[in-house]
Amino acid sequence: MSPEAPNKPSLLLIERCRVVAVMDDAGTELEHADILVEGPAIKAVGKGLREAMQLPADIPTIDGRGHVALPGFVNVHHHFWQCLTRTFPRVQHAELFDWLVQQYKVWESLDTEELKVGARVAMCELLLTGCTTTSDHHYLFPTKQPVELIDGDIAVARELGIRFQPTRGSMTLGERDGGLPPMTLIEDDERVLADYERLIATYHDTSPYAMTRISLAPCAPFNVTARLFQETVEVARRHGVKIHTHLAETDDEDTYCAERFGKRPFDFVADQGWEGSDVWFAHCVKINSAEIERFARGGIGVAHCPSANARLGSGIAPVPEMLRAGVAVGLGVDGSASNDSGDLLGEARLAFLMHRARWGADSITPRDCLWMLTRGGAAVLGNDNIGKLTVGAAADVVLFDVEQFAYAGGPSVDPLAGLIMCGTSHHVAWSIINGKVVVERGRVVGVAERSLVHRANQISTRLAEYGLKQHGLNYRDHVRWPRKA
Ligand SMILES: [Zn+2]
């Protein structure tokens, strides 16, 4: 790529892509086509743009030959710091509630710098697997740390150039009061409400190509007070921001809500005002058909996280039924301690396979999965300027090299389907966000991968040692090999 000329509107031509998936309402797919980017927006998409638009000879250019180009993917549920406790043996075999109680015991010791390392690792992994817009459900506020933890995530996102919609999470119902988390991770409702106002005033940007938008997200019915659910709706609707929480993830949650509230999880949050097009829920594994109809009617979005649901043994969300009913569904990698990956394209492939295994070969298509990655995610986050490569949309473009072993034999016929059906190599070659190149030839621009990974591993080791020292949790004791005959 040649350097950009100073003091001119920045132009970038992505030329002769094998296929451009526009992801417009008509499902346009253009073969051997170009994408012209001007500043933060898509200026044109079509064949032979260099000649047709008489572009300058020295225009910065990416050679798209052998590559599939799509709008950047949208990740609608995550917990960045969790990549610091991936594969912990103590919780490799645990279901959600046990898994959480054990993880809380080490997460309580994370500090500001360590949380930023987790965020950086998580965002780099997302960038490499096609994500250009991510949310993050940050509900971890150890009582010993300052309140400004999401500020650290935002600083990292800005440095890396990823579009970011953090959600201000919270846990305000601790084990002393019938909730799940230890008191070392419990905030009071007032502190959370004050931080909502601070974050919205400081960071929430409503302009069309905004790189930072804030949403509000009490963690779950089993660790947040009913009052905070109610107050969150009030604050969000006053400011016009979206709201998010975990919902209907496991049988244990159903039981908890039945015993504590005498209700199903959705009825509990709906009674607090959580029913409307500004709401999106993560998981919805244990949702029934009547609730799916209510989601569709009310414009409620869903973050589908198939890896985490499978890994924790929670079940399979009825996503094909949601899609048929017209519910907006996006994909989320969820926290990387319950995945244990942050591979967003991989999440789409797993969704494709999982739903076919459960509901049959015609229940979901590769293009359904690509739609969830892009337009579905954009709808869930309430951002209609991303997830498509139409003129005027945000210039968030990802290119996958399909001329490699993983795809060989597929690209000549249907390279788009190949991303989902063949894909074992999920890394992008190029990623452009808001008109800027953030992944160049498979590398995140400006990031020293090995030293970052080294620091993450140091923190992970410290956390395991902390768990042993403070709580007697010997993680290595829980490694399991097959029983011998
Ligand atoms: Zn989650």
Give all domains of the chain, ordered by start, each with its CATH number. 11-71+393-444 (2.30.40.10), 81-381 (3.20.20.140)
Cβ contacts of 23 within 8 Å, gap of 6 or more:
70, 71, 370, 371, 374, 375, 387, 388, 389
The CA 123 to ligand 1 mean position distance, Å, reads 16
- What separation in Å is there between the alpha carbon of 248 and the centre of ligand 1? 11
Cα 172 to middle of ligand 1, angstroms: 16
On whether the CB atoms of residues 377 and 77 are closer than 8 A, the answer is: no
| Residue-level pLDDT, tens digit, the chain, 485 residues | 544 444 666 999 999 999 999 999 999 999 999 999 999 999 999 999 999 999 999 999 999 999 999 999 999 999 999 999 998 877 888 899 888 988 999 999 999 999 999 999 999 999 999 999 999 999 999 999 999 999 999 999 999 999 999 999 999 999 999 989 999 999 999 999 999 999 999 999 999 999 999 999 999 999 999 999 999 999 999 999 999 999 999 999 999 999 999 999 999 999 999 999 999 999 999 999 999 999 999 999 999 999 999 999 999 999 999 999 999 999 999 998 899 999 999 999 999 999 999 999 999 999 999 999 999 999 999 999 999 999 999 999 999 999 999 898 876 789 999 999 997 779 999 999 999 999 999 999 999 999 999 999 999 999 999 998 988 887 777 777 887 76
Contact 216, 274 (CB under 8 A): no
Neighbours of 218 (CB within 10 A): 31
Query: How remote is the CA of residue 428 from the centroid of ligand 1, in Å?
Result: 25
> Beta strand 301-304 with 328-331: parallel, antiparallel or unpaired?
parallel
**Distance in angstroms between the alpha carbons of the first and the last residue of the chain:** 60
Ligand 1 centroid distance, CA of 469 (Å): 27
Distance 341 CA to ligand 1 centre (A): 13
Ligand 1 centroid to Cα of residue 171, in Å, is 13
Q: Give the separation between CA 443 and CA 340, rounded to whole angstroms.
A: 21
Q: Is 14 helix (H, G, I), strand (E, B) or coil?
A: strand
CA of 413 to the centre of ligand 1 (A): 37
Query: Which residue shows structure tokens 């945000």?
Result: 394
Strands (E), 320-401: 328-331, 397-401
Cα of 77 from ligand 1 centre, angstroms: 6
Q: Give the C-alpha distances (Å, rounded to integers) separating 239 from 2, 183, 233.
A: 43, 30, 10
CA 23 to ligand 1 center in whole angstroms: 27
Q: How far is the CA of 334 from the centre of ligand 1 (A)?
A: 5
Distance 295 CA to ligand 1 centre (A): 19
What is the whole-number distance in angstroms between the Cα of residue 335 and the centre of ligand 1?
6
Q: Closest Cα partner for 472 from 90, 97, 168?
A: 90
- Angstrom distance (rounded) from CA 431 to CA 440: 7
CA of 127 to the centre of ligand 1 (A): 19
Bridge partners (DSSP) listed for residue 165? 135
Q: How far is the CA of 282 from the centre of ligand 1 (A)?
A: 7
Separation of CA 68 and ligand 1 centre (Å):
30
- Burial label for 260, CB within 10 Å (0-12, 13-18, 19+), is middle
Identify residue 408 by its one-letter amino acid code: A
What is the distance in A from the centroid of ligand 1 to the CA of 419? 26
Instruction: Tell how far the Cα of 243 is from the centroid of ligand 1, in angstroms.
Output: 14
Look at the pTM and tell me if it is higher than 0.75: yes
Query: Which residues, in sequence order, are bridge partners of residue 302?
Result: 281, 329
Q: Which helix (H) or strand (E) holds 160?
A: helix 149-160
Could you give the count of Cα atoms lying within 13 Å of 336 in the half-sphere of its Cβ?
24
CA 53 – ligand 1 centroid, Å: 46
